Amino acid sequence: QAEPVRHARLVIHRLHLDDVEMPVRLATLVVVDRGAATVDWEVVAEGLADFTGELGRIRVEMLCITGANESGQLLLGELCGEAIVVRFVGATVVLRGDGPLHGLSDAVLEG
The DSSP line for 89-107 is ETTEEEEEE-S--BT--GG
Mean pLDDT of all residues in the chain?
Answer: 93
For residue 96, pLDDT over 80 is answered with yes
Neighbours of 57 (CB within 10 A): 13
pTM value is: 0.91
For residue 75, pLDDT over 90 is answered with yes
Instruction: Please give the DSSP secondary-structure letter assigned to residue 109.
Output: -
Q: What is the pLDDT of residues 80-93, one digit of tens each?
A: 999 999 999 999 99
Terminal CA-to-CA distance of the chain, rounded, Å? 16
Residues near 44 by Cβ (< 8 Å), separated by ≥ 6? 27, 28, 30, 92, 93, 94, 95
The predicted pLDDT at position 111 comes to: 65
